[in-house]
């Protein structure tokens, strides 16, 4: 019988083939098929079918497109959830959209709120304005995307979520910020926190070294890869321990009240 207090998560840290959805899907399918263990959730990086591209006109897909169908088929085949962000076109707009695909094929999604102005993402993609809370196997999951990591108010745990999740294309020169902020988000929100980042060099010559990681409720590292190579990390999260820690320290009970405008 499935223990809903435990969640087994596979974090796939991978290089990406520039603006080539088909080849990226094939690459990730090989990695997913290589996971022999039973997994509850598989996490892929930001824009995992294209790399962090500002050219959506040629590569954007619809919610009925090949990548969405591929994710649904894989989720059903593996009987696990699958999540990551891709470029979606909808109503003549482009979105950096995270898809959370359930084993049933049901899809929930989150549009990246904080578009990365340094790269001009704000000029190409429409920003979202709603957080997503996914209820999956008794876990409440808050999925966010890359640049969202720099904005703690948006991630603040006012919903009593169990897992905070970031998918990213976070480059090497600012990797110390990635490490520091992920640990801070775990500590301040008293939540398991996962960050999945890509590796390799993209068409703009930006280098990525991964540092895919999972922290527990108090900011202790449960799993990490920082060798800059492709890898699959598997980590088992225990919600019972998190509940006990929250009850013991009660830091979330003292959080500030605020509204976001």
What span, in angstroms and rounded, lies between the C-alpha atoms of 168 and 43?
A: 11
Mean pLDDT of 49-75: 98
pLDDT value, residue 244: 97
Q: Is residue 258 part of a domain?
A: no
- The active-site residue out of 112, 113, 131, 224 is 112
Q: Is residue 2 part of a domain?
A: no
DSSP string, 185-250: HHHHHTSEEEEEE-EEE-TT--EEE--EEEE-TTS-EEEEE-SSS-EEEEEEEEHHHHHHHHHHH-
Q: Is residue 212 part of a domain?
A: yes
pLDDT value, residue 183: 98
Q: Is the pLDDT confidence value at 74 over 70?
A: yes
Question: What is the distance, to the nearest Å, from the Cα of residue 17 to the centroid of all Cα atoms in its chain?
Answer: 19
pLDDT tens-digit map of 219-239: 999 999 999 999 999 999 999
Per the structure, the complete domain to which residue 212 belongs is given by 7-251
What span, in angstroms and rounded, lies between the C-alpha atoms of 215 and 194?
A: 6
pLDDT tens-digit map of 168-206: 999 999 999 999 999 999 999 999 999 999 999 999 999
Q: What is the CATH number of the domain that holds 227?
A: 3.60.110.10
What span, in angstroms and rounded, lies between the C-alpha atoms of 145 and 98?
A: 7
pLDDT value, residue 95: 98
Q: Is residue 261 part of a domain?
A: no
Mean pLDDT of 47-60: 98
pLDDT value, residue 19: 98
Q: Is the pLDDT confidence value at 2 over 90?
A: no
User: What pLDDT band is residue 21 in, cutting at 50, 70 and 90?
Assistant: very high
pLDDT value, residue 1: 60
Give the chain's mean pLDDT: 97
Instruction: Judge whether 46 counts as a catalytic residue.
Output: yes
The total domain count for the chain is 1
Mean pLDDT of 47-54: 98
Q: Are 51 and 21 in contact (CB under 8 A)?
A: no
Mean pLDDT of 39-60: 98
What is the edge-to-edge ordering of all strands in the sheet holding 212-215?
A: 134-136, 139-145, 163-168, 192-197, 212-215, 221-225
State how far the alpha carbon of 114 is from the alpha carbons of 83, 123, 129, 242, in Å.
19, 12, 9, 29
Tokens of 17: 């083939």
Tokens of 174: 């600012």
Q: Is residue 259 part of a domain?
A: no
- Give residues with Cβ within 8 angstroms of 225, minimum separation 6: 13, 210, 211, 212, 213, 231, 233
Instruction: Judge whether 112 counts as a catalytic residue.
Output: yes
pLDDT tens-digit map of 113-154: 999 999 999 999 999 999 999 999 999 999 999 999 999 999
Biggest alpha carbon distance in the chain?
Answer: 52
Q: Is residue 47 part of a domain?
A: yes
User: What pLDDT band is residue 3 in, cutting at 50, 70 and 90?
Assistant: confident
User: What pLDDT band is residue 70 in, cutting at 50, 70 and 90?
Assistant: very high
Q: Is residue 170 part of a domain?
A: yes
Q: Are 44 and 83 in contact (CB under 8 A)?
A: yes
What span, in angstroms and rounded, lies between the C-alpha atoms of 117 and 178?
A: 17
Q: Is residue 257 part of a domain?
A: no
Question: What is the distance, to the nearest Å, from the Cα of residue 36 to the centroid of all Cα atoms in its chain?
Answer: 22
What percent of the chain has pLDDT above 90? 97
Instruction: Judge whether 146 counts as a catalytic residue.
Output: yes
Q: Are 79 and 112 in contact (CB under 8 A)?
A: no
User: What pLDDT band is residue 4 in, cutting at 50, 70 and 90?
Assistant: confident
- The active-site residue out of 142, 146, 183, 214 is 146
- The active-site residue out of 19, 46, 61, 108 is 46
């Amino acid at each position: 019988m499935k223990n809903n207090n435990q969640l087994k998560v596979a974090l796939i840290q991978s290089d990406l083939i520039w603006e080539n959805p088909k080849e990226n899907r094939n690459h990730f399918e090989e990695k997913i098929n290589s996971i022999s263990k039973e997994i509850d959730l598989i996490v892929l990086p930001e824009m995992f079918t294209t790399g962090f591209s500002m050219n959506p006109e040629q590569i954007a897909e619809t919610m009925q497109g090949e990548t969405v169908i591929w994710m649904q088929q894989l989720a059903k085949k593996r009987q696990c959830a699958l999540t990551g962000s891709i470029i979606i076109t909808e109503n003549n707009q482009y979105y950096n959209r995270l898809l959370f695909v359930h084993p049933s094929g049901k899809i929930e999604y989150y549009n990246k709120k904080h578009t990365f102005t340094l790269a001009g993402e704000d000029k190409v993609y429409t920003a979202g304005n709603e957080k997503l809370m996914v209820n999956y196997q008794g876990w409440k999951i808050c999925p966010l995307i890359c640049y969202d990591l720099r904005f703690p108010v948006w991630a603040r745990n006012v919903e009593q979520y169990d897992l905070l999740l970031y998918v990213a294309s976070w480059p090497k020169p600012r990797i110390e910020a990635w490490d520091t902020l992920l640990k801070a988000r775990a500590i301040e929100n008293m939540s398991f926190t996962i960050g999945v980042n890509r590796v390799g060099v993209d068409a703009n010559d930006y280098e990525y070294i991964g540092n895919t990681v999972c922290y527990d409720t108090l900011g202790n590292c449960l799993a990490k890869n920082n060798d800059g190579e492709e890898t699959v990390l598997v980590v088992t999260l225990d919600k019972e321990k998190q509940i006990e820690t929250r009850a013991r320290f009660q830091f979330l009970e003292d959080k500030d009240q605020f509204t976001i405008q």
